Amino acid sequence: MKKKNMVKRLFAVLLTLGMVMSSVVFSGALSLTDLFPRGSNPPVTEPEEGEGNTGLGKVIETLFTPTAPDQVLEAFGVYADEEYIKTHEYCFAVNTSQNIVIAYTIGVDGVYSKPVKALVCSCGLESSPTKKGIFKTTDRYQWRALNGGVYGKWATRITGPYLFHSGPNEKQSSSTLETAEYNKLGQNASAGCVRLACHDAKWVYNRCPEGTIVYIYDGSDVKEPLAKPTPQRIDPTSPYAGWDPTDDNSNNPWKS
């Protein structure tokens, strides 16, 4: 699989570069030294709004954009067909041993290989592990009851009792966050769900229409394409300790 992906990416680079150079030659407007003066680097420019990345920009993107690990590409390839691409912008991968979630979108190779956002999370404890496999999301809830008589905000059902959701709250109220549990973000701590900071849980919620692919795996030795964000910690003695600092609730005292 790794060799195949490398060949596809190399082919895309060569094809695009050939198209660019053909255009240069036939136009007679530029030479190679005009494009890349000695001692200089190729310019990187943003495409105009509404236009895709083309030409040299596409070559550079193909060469230097991080890509999904092979096992993630293989998992997405099981369900991410042409019909899925029409209705879903993202696929999600959850590494339970590194406690990181990465959202992927379509790359220059035409598959869900381009990482766009990394989220720090808390997956299940050894005694209550997060279920591994390839799943498609179903329901979404602003609040959802969880194991232990607590509630998660911005919950997205991955499969069965396993959800993406915020840190646990004692009630369906943003001011009742269990601070000690929130401060475990980045380490295995949940009863099996994938816990996120409130802002991140809402980000996932807003980008997971029904049927979104989620691949959950144990990848302790996997080199992820994006760095794991550093989780925020709350001083338990703070008068604001019952609130998630990332919650966009207008009454959140951390925002004032």
Looking at the structure, do residues 158 and 218 belong to the same domain, yes or no? yes
Say which residue, 187 or 50, is predicted with more confidence: 187
Looking at the structure, do residues 117 and 176 belong to the same domain, yes or no? yes
pLDDT of 87-96, one tens digit each? 999 999 999 9
Looking at the structure, do residues 125 and 56 belong to the same domain, yes or no? no
Contacts of 35 (CB under 8 A, 6+ apart): 24, 42, 56
Amino acid 57: pLDDT: 60
pLDDT-based confidence at 45, cuts 50/70/90? very low
Among 158, 23, 121, 135, smallest CA distance to 75 is for: 135
Residue 238 belongs to domain spanning: 70-248
Looking at the structure, do residues 183 and 161 belong to the same domain, yes or no? yes
Amino acid 195: pLDDT: 98
pLDDT-based confidence at 19, cuts 50/70/90? very low
Looking at the structure, do residues 29 and 78 belong to the same domain, yes or no? no
Domain boundary among 64, 96, 116: 64
User: Does residue 110 fall inside a structural domain?
Assistant: yes
Contacts of 194 (CB under 8 A, 6+ apart): 94, 101, 121, 122, 123, 130, 158, 162, 163, 164, 165, 216
pLDDT-based confidence at 1, cuts 50/70/90? low
User: Does residue 254 fall inside a structural domain?
Assistant: no
- Tell me how crowded residue 83 is: count the other CB atoms within 10 A of its CB: 10
User: Does residue 255 fall inside a structural domain?
Assistant: no
pLDDT-based confidence at 8, cuts 50/70/90? low
Q: Average pLDDT of 161-174? A: 98
Looking at the structure, do residues 89 and 41 belong to the same domain, yes or no? no
pLDDT of 137-165, one tens digit each? 999 999 999 999 999 999 999 999 999 99
Amino acid 41: pLDDT: 39
Backbone angles phi, psi at 70, to 5 degrees: -55, -40
Q: Average pLDDT of 117-145? A: 98
pLDDT of 65-83, one tens digit each? 789 999 999 999 999 999 9
Q: What's the CATH number where 165 sits?
A: 2.40.440.10
pLDDT of 182-209, one tens digit each? 999 999 999 999 999 999 999 999 999 9
User: Does residue 45 fall inside a structural domain?
Assistant: yes
Q: Average pLDDT of 115-120? A: 98
Looking at the structure, do residues 147 and 181 belong to the same domain, yes or no? yes
Looking at the structure, do residues 60 and 31 belong to the same domain, yes or no? yes
User: Does residue 253 fall inside a structural domain?
Assistant: no
Looking at the structure, do residues 102 and 155 belong to the same domain, yes or no? yes
Looking at the structure, do residues 14 and 89 belong to the same domain, yes or no? no
Looking at the structure, do residues 110 and 45 belong to the same domain, yes or no? no
17, two tokens: 């570069």
Domain boundary among 22, 43, 64: 64
CA distance 222 to 71: 9
Looking at the structure, do residues 26 and 153 belong to the same domain, yes or no? no
User: Does residue 46 fall inside a structural domain?
Assistant: yes
Is the torsion defined by CA of 51, 54, 57, 59 positive or negative?
positive
Report the domain count for the chain: 2
Say which residue, 14 or 169, is predicted with more confidence: 169
Beginning with the edge strand found earlier in the chain, give each strand of the sheet holding 133-136 in spatial order: 133-136, 213-217, 91-95, 100-106, 112-122, 194-196, 162-165, 150-159, 140-146
Domain boundary among 64, 83, 101: 64
